Amino acid sequence: MTCHVPGVLKIVLQRLALGLVTLFVVSIVIFVAVNALPGDFAQVILGQGATPEAVAAIRRDLALDEPLVTRYVGWLGAILTGDLGTSFAQLNFQSSLGGGEMKTVASQIAPRFANTIFLAGVTAAIAVPVAVALGVLAALYRGSVFDRFTNIFTLSSVSSPEFFLAYMLILFLAVLNPMLPSLSNIYDGMAFSERLRATMLPALTLTLIVLAQMMRMTRAAIINLLASPYIEMARLKGISPMRVIVRHALPNALAPIINVIALNLAYLITGVVVVEVVFVYPGIGQLFVDAVKIRDIPVVQACCLIFAAAYILLNLTADILSILSNPRLRHPK
């Protein structure tokens, strides 16, 4: 039976269109929310003793005195051309030096975002296979001591605050047993093995956070299929329980598993702020926190937009993969 391409393509295009509309709406929310933050960049750089005239002059130079709608239209137009703007902090820094080449927001974000992607990739490489393996084993031995222990451990880890898990790992793996560095000192030209070692503690922290949901979804999806007639037939044929799950149940449980994995991968990119701050990891989350502190509006807006785009993109990917893995959508009658 051939795949019904037009129907699937129509659904995929609808999802993509919905994603673009969602991103547009989110961009409005981001712009309004960031500009509603208390504090003012001009006041921050001039200090509390600045005169109102000096503050007004800097606000005028940075176009902060223009109407909100005008500024949003200009910002969105620049974004569509690939221009994320120039950091306010860079403008101030360059003016204090009397000129020089200014770094754009994109050039500041690019290496930080690459570091965050590397951290997310290392975490996913650990968490996804471990979660799926634990889910399969928990489904195979459900009700056993292993099943109960796995559920208690993963639920305990996901229920703990991120900073608590991070500090516990630092205590046990960096202080009491100095196996890994407590701070992630990442720099250009670093060897891959050293980079991996410096990233391991934040990656293990994130693994403990995302492991539970993926493992429990895998377990639930497989258990739900074990009562199916074709699974019973496979058992009657004498196929081993592990092979029944891996060869017959797991492929048919991919849709919900893919969804929960994609959602957790989205978290690994958008929710790493606390972990990056604890380990001083030079990612986009750390850059975002630093920009918020000094009210660097262009950087904050760009970071928020990247977080939103990554989250929406990964959710769309999950939807599309779920569609492609659903026989009823791929092979309609």
Give residue 117's pLDDT: 92
Is the residue at 288 inside a domain? yes
Does 26 fall in a domain? Answer: no
Radius of gyration of the chain (CA): 24
Q: Which residues pair with 104 in a beta bridge?
A: 86
Question: Based on the structure, what is the number of domains in the chain?
Answer: 1
Cβ atoms within 10 Å, residue 304: 20
The model's pLDDT over 220-273, given as tens digits with 9 standing for 90+, comes to 888 888 777 877 787 777 788 778 877 777 777 777 888 888 888 888 887 788
Residue 287 falls inside a structural domain? yes
Distance CA(79)–CA(70), nearest Å, equals 14
The reply to whether 19 falls in a domain is no
Q: Which residues constitute the domain of residue 262?
A: 115-295
Q: Given a cut of 80, is residue 159 above it in pLDDT?
A: yes
Residue 265 domain-assigned?
yes
Nearest to 306 by CA among 2, 40, 84, 146: 84
Does any domain span residue 269? yes
Q: Is residue 162 a part of any domain in this protein?
A: yes
CATH number at residue 138: 1.10.3720.10
pLDDT at site 99: 47
Give the pLDDT confidence of 56-107 residue by residue, as tens digits: 777 777 777 788 888 899 888 988 888 888 887 766 444 444 444 557 888 8
In a domain, 305, yes or no: no
